C-alpha cells in the first residue's frame, strides 16, 4: 500500500515558501484544497483565514461536503475544535477564547456532523489528544518535534485519550475500514481506533 503525505498550512507559514515546497496545496490565493485518493476524501482547511458563514472558505467547505465524496471523509486544519491544552482556554461565557477555535466549534462543527465527516486532524497544541463527539473523531496531533505543552484546566468532556509525548499518526484506509494509530518515536503505539463502514 503506497504512503501519501498531504500538508496543512500552520500559523501563517510564509506562503511563497509553502507553495514552493508543496505545489499540490491548492490555489496560492487560498490555503484550502480537496484531495480524493483511494477510499477517502481529504479536505484541508485554513483556520487562519475567514471561516464564518458567508466567507469564501465556509461556502467552499459546505459545497464540498454536499458534493459526492469517497467512503471516508477526513478534514485537516490547524486550530483544534476540542482541546484540553493552553489554546483551549474558555472565557467567562464558556466559549473558547481563541477566535479560530470558537468559530470552528460554532460554525464548522455542525457541518461535520450534518454531512458525516469521519475524522478531523489538528495541530496547534503540542501533544496528542483524541476526542469523540456526535460521531466524529477529533485528533490533536501536535507532537512532531517542537517542545510539548502541558494539559491545561480547559474542560474537554469529549476526550477519549490524551498523552504529552512526541508522536506521529499512521492512518490506514481499506474499502471498509479507517484506522488511526498514534505512535511514539520508539515505534510503540499508545492509542488506536478504527471506523468501520459496510462494503457497497
Tally the domains of the chain: 1
Cα first-last separation, the chain? 21
Residues 110, 112, 116, 120, Cα dihedral to 10°: -150
In which domain, by residue range, is 132 found?
15-165
127 in any annotated domain: yes
CATH number of 48's domain:
3.60.21.10
Q: What is the pTM for the complete model shown?
A: 0.88
171 in any annotated domain: no
pLDDT tens-digit map of 87-117: 998 899 989 999 999 999 999 999 999 999 9
6 in any annotated domain: no
User: How high does pLDDT run on average in the chain?
Assistant: 89
Three-state secondary structure call for residue 38: coil
195 in any annotated domain: no
| pLDDT for residue 41 is more than 80 | yes
192 in any annotated domain: no
- Sign of the torsion angle spanned by Cα atoms 193, 76, 19, 99: negative
161 in any annotated domain: yes
177 in any annotated domain: no
74 in any annotated domain: yes
Amino acid at each position: 500500500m503506497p504512503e501519501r503525505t498531504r500538508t496543512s498550512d500552520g500559523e501563517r507559514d510564509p506562503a511563497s515558501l509553502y507553495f514552493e515546497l508543496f505545489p499540490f496545496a491548492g490555489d496560492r490565493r487560498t490555503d484550502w484544497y480537496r484531495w480524493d485518493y483511494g477510499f477517502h476524501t481529504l479536505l484541508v482547511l485554513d483556520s487562519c483565514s475567514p471561516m464564518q458563514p458567508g466567507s469564501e472558505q465556509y461556502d467552499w467547505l459546505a459545497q464540498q461536503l454536499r458534493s459526492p465524496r469517497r467512503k471516508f471523509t477526513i478534514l485537516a486544519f490547524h486550530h483544534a475544535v476540542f482541546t484540553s491544552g493552553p489554546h483551549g482556554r474558555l472565557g467567562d461565557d464558556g466559549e473558547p477564547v481563541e477566535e479560530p477555535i470558537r468559530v470552528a466549534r460554532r460554525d464548522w462543527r455542525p457541518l461535520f456532523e450534518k454531512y458525516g465527516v469521519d475524522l478531523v486532524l489538528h495541530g496547534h497544541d503540542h501533544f496528542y489528544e483524541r476526542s469523540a463527539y456526535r460521531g466524529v473523531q477529533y485528533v490533536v496531533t501536535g507532537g512532531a518535534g517542537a517542545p510539548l505543552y502541558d494539559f491545561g484546566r480547559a474542560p474537554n468532556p469529549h476526550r477519549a485519550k490524551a498523552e504529552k509525548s512526541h508522536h506521529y499518526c499512521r492512518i490506514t484506509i481499506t474499502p471498509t475500514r479507517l484506522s488511526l494509530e498514534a505512535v511514539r518515536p520508539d515505534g510503540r503505539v499508545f492509542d488506536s481506533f478504527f471506523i468501520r463502514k459496510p462494503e457497497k
